[in-house]
Amino acid sequence: MPMSSPREKTRGGKRDDYYRDRRRRKVCSFCADKTVMIDYKEVNRLRRFLSERAKIEPRRKTGTCANHQRQLAVALKRARIVALLPYAPQHVRP
């Protein structure tokens, strides 16, 4: 059985796959803009954080920090109560 060199061991291993698939962490858009408060009346800005099904997008997808994600959830819920944003997606009629 031939001995393999240390260089050949790391080639194609789990460690290489880990670093290859690793993505750069997203930056919180509210921290970057130095936004003091997330307002429920800014509908166009809040719409970016809703999915096609009108669900609140998770932090790992949007890149918001934990503090702003909590404020964002409250603002989205308030906008829904005032009927600025939908609770459910609009259904396409045939």
pLDDT at 11: 58
CB-count exposure of residue 64 (10 Å: 0-12, 13-18, 19+): buried
Q: What is the pLDDT of residues 72-92, one digit of tens each?
A: 999 999 999 999 999 998 865
% of the chain residues with pLDDT over 70: 71
Instruction: Spell out the residues 6+ positions from residue 76 whose beta carbon is closer than 8 angstroms to its own.
Output: 40, 46, 49, 50, 56, 85
Q: CB–CB of 38/71 below 8 Å?
A: yes
Query: Which domains are delineated in the chain?
Result: 25-94 (4.10.640.10)
**14-28: average pLDDT:** 70
Query: How far is the CA of 33 from the CAs of 50, 65, 94, in angstroms?
Result: 20, 13, 42
